[in-house]
Amino acid sequence: MGTTPPVHRTDPAEPLASVRAALVEACARAGRDAGSVTLIAVSKTVPVDKVEHAVRCGQTVFGENRVQEAEAKWPLLRSRHHGLELHLVGSLQSNKVPAAVALFDAIHSLDRPRLALSIARECARQGRRPRLFIQVNTGAEPQKSGVLPQVTDAFIDACRDVHDLDIEGLMCIPPLDEPPAGHFALLADIAVRNGLRSLSMGMSADFVEAIAHGATHVRVGRGIFGDRP
Ligand SMILES: *Cc1c(COP(=O)(O)O)cnc(C)c1O
């Protein structure tokens, strides 16, 4: 992130192919099956026609960081293309929970008890169960969302035992000004000791390194769609 050169590309076809190639190579180097890592194309701020171009290039899994933007883009995209999977990667306000549960297949930003409660209630009401990732603030940064590492085990227990939520995995966004490896390793440790199978970590600048540390979901935006406005 801090060290990535800016990406200036407008056509997602070629960048998408090179991101996929880098993913496959990173898996090979880590002795992992390429199918064990899901590439989430983060399409926040990207207009529908550019998203459709990525769909035509075979991309099926996308991420958005704002519920409102996703509500504006995705009903149309889903009506035109079958089998698309949509992940919420940005933080979720409690008043947006009904819309988020209705729209997203996965939520990567479960980060507080009140949100666990609202999601649980809304899942019951709608009869839907989006896959859930708990966001961990691995760098304990005051401005960043996420559960602090030292209370994550307790939060996972509460989600499971109090709210009856099935937690799939953990998500983190390492601090911009630190090497990400230690944060990826910390997230992987917390997942292992809690029996969680998925790790959402790695973005355009560091997804190769995240795969080396066990990422199962990498969230790549600029690397596929170019710099955002
Ligand atoms: C925007 C965003 C990404 C993608 O970041 P890039 O640097 O564009 O790859 C990944 N995760 C989250 C949570 C984001 O908000």
Whether residue 82 has pLDDT greater than 80: yes
Å from CA of 31 to ligand 1 middle: 26
- Closest by CA to 102, choosing from 135, 75, 139, 136, is 75
Whether residue 7 has pLDDT greater than 80: no
Q: Residue whose CA is closest, atom 6 of ligand 1?
A: 221
pLDDT attached to residue 229: 87
Q: Using most ligand atoms within 8 A of CB, pick from 219, 222, 228 the residue to mutate for ligand 1.
A: 219
Q: How confident is the model at residue 12 (pLDDT cuts 50, 70, 90)?
A: low
Å from CA of 125 to ligand 1 middle: 31
Write out pLDDT tens, residues 174-193: 999 999 999 999 999 999 99
Q: Residue whose CA is closest, atom 4 of ligand 1?
A: 221
Q: How high does pLDDT run on average in the chain?
A: 95
Ligand 1, pocket residues at CB < 6 Å: 42, 44, 65, 89-90, 173, 203-204, 219-223
